[in-house]
Structure 1
Amino acid sequence: MYKVYIVEDEHLERKALQMIINGQAPNVKIVGTAASGKDALKGIAETNPQIILMDINIPEINGIEVLRRVKKSDPEKKVILITAFNEFDFAHQAIKAKVDDLLLKPIRPEQLIASLNQAIEGLQANTRSNIDEKMSEIIYAVVHKKYTQCREAVQTYLNLLYDHYGFDLISIQKEVQTLMRELQTVADDNGGYEIVSPLKSTSGHKHFARQFQNRYNLRVEIMKVIGKIFDHMKTNPDRKSSIEDILNFIDRNAANDISLEQVGEYANMSSYYLSKIFKKETGMNFVTYLTKQKIQIAKDMLINTDTPIINIALDLSYHEPNYFSKVFKKNVGITPTAYRRKYRNTGAQTEAAE
């Protein structure tokens, strides 16, 4: 379902557009309307539509200027402009501002539907390209052992899948299985590790849905697979690890109660030497960095799961929930409860990733 926002200052014209779309465009949902450019910019920011259907001649801020601002903010949004003026100047300005289509009034229903379908085809092509590009970024980050980049790319990849497919779990499962095949190729090229994960299963989508009820659970499982590949890529146990290897190891195990000694054992370094180079390379000590990573996981869980705060604390090896809340507030500025209340329903996937 694609979201459309209508901007038209004439009440009857606006209603006519709504009637055509509601009656003849089943794959489109109207998420808002506005009668002025100022209200349009506010409404577009709040509803985040993929398609904007807008009259050029609207009050306060005209349609051409709204088009410019929308395209500057998000070039992939599709903007269809409507005008009663068949003049070269308007068309030239609209094309220069990268309009996706220009319709002349009075608009025939078949013209409007054809324009919407064209916009949808463009969005689908963009999404396919973005999904493929993000999957390539995941593979690149795995090959080059960049765990943090992996985590961020996986989150964006899943956001793209869920935004594009919605509740079509069959398609999401197929996309993830493609990613698993690509990751298996990387594993084969780095020691022949065989990935063991329910994500490789070809069982029905109902089984997939039961195991991975939301994108958070799915992301956790994908990152487990990537973490195992990273473990098998450390081929020489006698070689001292690079700082990137060390940070990857800490990031992957931050939820556990790992110690400087355990990291030193992994890195083949003494705790004293590791502590010195860690501070030199990162600008912070081990405990500060580990706490930072734990808080990042906590923010993610607060936004994307229903896990009680006491369980989040225990999952992150904070055995005293009150102490966890104190540490969280010190680092974030608000309590875990306040953070969940503030960001839970505001599309804050990006906030958690920062």
Structure 2
Amino acid sequence: MYRVMVADDEGIVIDSMKFIIEKEFGDSCQVECAKSGRSVIELAERFRPDIAVIDIHMPGINGIDAIKEMKAFCTNTVFIVMSAYDKFDYAKEAIALGVMEYITKPMEKTKVISVLKRAMDQIDGEREKRSNELLIKEKLETVEPIIENGLIYDILLQEHFDEDIDSYRTILSINENFGYMMALVCGDSQEGNRMTNAIGTSVKISGKYHEIREEVKSLFKCKVGNVMSNKIAILIPCSEEKLEYNERTDLIERARDLVRALRKKTDISFRVGIGGVKPLRELGDSYREALNALIATTGSVAHVDDLVISCDYEDDYPKNMEKPLFEAIAKGDLNETQVMTEKYADWMCQRAVDGDLMSMRLKALEFALYAEHLAYQNGGQTYHYSGRKDYLPQIMELETPEEIRTWFTDKIVSACRNVVSKREERSGDIIRNAKKYIEDHYDKDISLDDVSRVVNISPYYFSKVFKEESGLNFIEYLTNIRIDKAKELLETTNLSIKEICVSCGYTDPNYFSRSFKKNVGVTPTEYKEKC
């Protein structure tokens, strides 16, 4: 159905237009008419036409001015103007208003029908576009909670790569580089710093999750996770590294409003813990701060910056270097470890300019010990209780910042190298043992599962490591061993093809011949004759 408005001060023109529209388009059009500029605007406010055919020259307000008025509230209307005067100025002004067509009188029936059909096609296109947009929005509203929860889950459990976080940010339109976490914790009631009946209320809030999510989003520009036990994690992106005092107090007041509103809606008691602002990839730390804030107080809302449970640093301390450095060591990222180690060493040397070598010694020793602790954890090294007994005497003998720097960088980089080398050594041992087993048992009916069991890792991981290290998959490597052995027997013995087939681990002579020809280019018989 199309709502069509015809506006002209001549009754004969209106009657002609109505006749053409009703005859050509029938019940698909609802037609309303107006005879003055004022009545055009009043009718448009009530009728909200899809198509408006308006004469320029009408009593009172002219057609162009009427269109300007209508544009304010008829944003999707298609305008067609008509006039007995073919004047350039009128046409130019009409085009500037976004009018679809300028028709001069007297109007031809075919022209009118053609223009109306174009207008209807434009309306159909806009309606379809709008319908598709609503469909996409509806689907996004269904999928968005899942994506938001995926982001929060990856951040809290630190099971992500940097590109994963970037993908989440793009999909969820997160442009900020920082954020903080809120922990929404529920129970039947609050006793001290804990909530009662955590298990029971976790079931209750699962049933009321959508109501809770909507309430949270009405008060905060945030991303909301799923129910985890009796807790819901909430991520709030922000642009700055730190909240100003007024921002923090406003945040706490809104959190208190949230607690009251949720209590009223769900008949469940809630508390809100709020962590500090962190880079997005470190928001797991902010969530832990939010939970610790709730443990450290008995209020319904607790912000970590209001409490004495967080660690402060002196102004020039490069705390933003620590985490990337230790993460690089744990991952075995040698390049990043070297870069961050040099940066941190530069800072320590600058601080040692005034002669405070003892602080530099202690910090170098502290970092070296922790780096090696990470190497033990992530590189599979064997820990020796007395292995570092010389570290303290060594570092106390160092007399200059550069000497301490050298000792420090050597220990840190060495710890990272140990992570890399131990992983490579582990992979190398697996492949060597696997190859030896294959070479010793190629004449048996052995499988990938058999070999992975011998080296004590899962078939999936063994298959992956074997291909990466040897360049061949298990079957290709086993086949090469068997074919090489078959060629040796064909060249040096008088065994029959059947005997050679069995000696090389094949049970079917026909399959052995096909495999041999595929890999060598000739059959076993042809190969023997050639030799």
Bin the TM-score by the shorter chain: 0.3 to 0.5
Bigger fraction of residues in strand? 2
Q: Which has the higher contact order (CA 8 A, sep 6+)?
A: 1
